[in-house]
Chain A
């Protein structure tokens, strides 16, 4: 099978719906195991921080959620670009669930950050470059969702959402580098691509498990959202009718 053939097959909603049904149990099991293990390990067994005490444990939710909020934006923008250039149906359908997921994850990271900020910094919120750019990310996700409903024509809605998603990609490196480029209240990154993490291994290992768990959760939730979107948009096609008919009997 050549790459183009594979690309076209991936673009078929029907093929994706049937194939993803087989991946779901595995993905769900991996998500459950990683998240439960990471939470029990991180919240129950990892040592407390010397300065922050137990409040540092919010990192096990905050950092994975923020990671996926940023990575998920690229998922949405790349899906938008593929939809714009190749008119691939599946990519167009992926944007909407990716936007909802991304908005939820961004909200979780902002909310947990505020909860942590009060005992640590002494305030829930401060308008520094990191927090403000993260809030912009939240509004970008909401904008993509809003554009989805703003047009009666589905094509126009998809195109507008994709353009906004692409414009917003510029915000991702800004969020990531904001703590290095400007003076912020938010501390610089603990986990770096090129250096060892500035965190004790006993605290870092459960964080890695949680990040992997969040990646699996993201994939699982995106696939579930995409399957729902496929069924909704293809509801008049024969294969969906047959599928529903079979289920009803």
Chain B
């Protein structure tokens, strides 16, 4: 290769490598801030700051959702499998919010570890299934559960 072109090629490689190193350092320095939410384990471990607006994300525990009968107040538990965070929220929950599905709540960590949410978002998973197939899977799983009992 012509020496001038070789030099230009090295310059191009240098630009890409330098930018990558800079971005990696930036991402490393901001590693917690890059996350949209804290997990229930982090909240339980005291990593999440109290008294300031944060987000907590996890799976809504089956059977934990309670809705008030006269207003929009709702409470539920968020879990990541290791720890649980109780959440209270007054407002309209998204259509796709459901027990056993993931959700992200924005709000403040109150006293006694209760999370007071001002916004709750449903987090969708990467699985796409037609309704008939989902029904069939549900039935098959129900049967498996019955036979195991």
By a beta-carbon cutoff of 8 Å, the part of chain A in contact with chain B is 47-52, 56, 59, 81, 84-86, 119-123, 126-129, 163, 166-171, 174, 181-185, 187-190, 198-200, 202-204
Contacts and interface: CB of A to CB of B under 8 A. Distances in A.
Contact of A200 (B39, B125, B128): B128
How many B residues are at the interface, by size bracket? Answer: 35 or more
A181 B20 CA distance: 16
Contact of B35 (A121, A170, A183): A183
Given A120-B96, A170-B16, A185 B104 contact: yes
A147 B107 CA distance: 42
Which 4 residue pairs of A and B lie closest in terms of their CB atoms, listed nearest first? Answer: A122-B94, A47-B130, A50-B134, A128-B36
A143 B95 CA distance: 38
B130 A203 contact: yes
A50 B131 contact: yes
B138 to A, nearest CB: 9
B8 A85 contact: yes
B34 to A, nearest CB: 5
A47 B131 contact: yes
B128 A198 contact: yes
B12 interface: yes
Contacts of B129: 49-50, 199-200
A204 B50 CA distance: 44
A50 B135 CA distance: 8
Nearest to A179: B126
B128 A56 contact: yes
Contacts of A47: 130-132
Nearest to A85: B8
Contacts of A56: 128
Interface in B39-76: 39, 57
A129 B35 CA distance: 7
Contacts of B82: none
Contact of A185 (B36, B126, B132): B36
B121 A121 contact: yes
A126 B130 contact: no
A84 B8 contact: yes
A50 B133 CA distance: 8
A172 B134 CA distance: 34
Contacts of B126: 187-190, 198
B125 A85 contact: no
Contacts of A50: 129-131, 133-135
Contacts of A182: 34-36
Given A52-B124, A84-B12, 8 more contacts: A48-B130, A48-B131, A120-B124, A126-B36, A183-B37, A190-B126, A198-B128, A202-B130
B27 interface: yes
5 contacts: A85-B8, A120-B122, A170-B23, A187-B123, A202-B130
Contact of A85 (B5, B19, B127): B5
Nearest to A203: B128
B69 to A, nearest CB: 23
Interface in B4-39: 5, 8-9, 11-12, 15-16, 19-20, 22-23, 27, 34-37, 39
Interface string B87-102: 0000001111100010
A129 B36 contact: yes
A13 B57 CA distance: 54
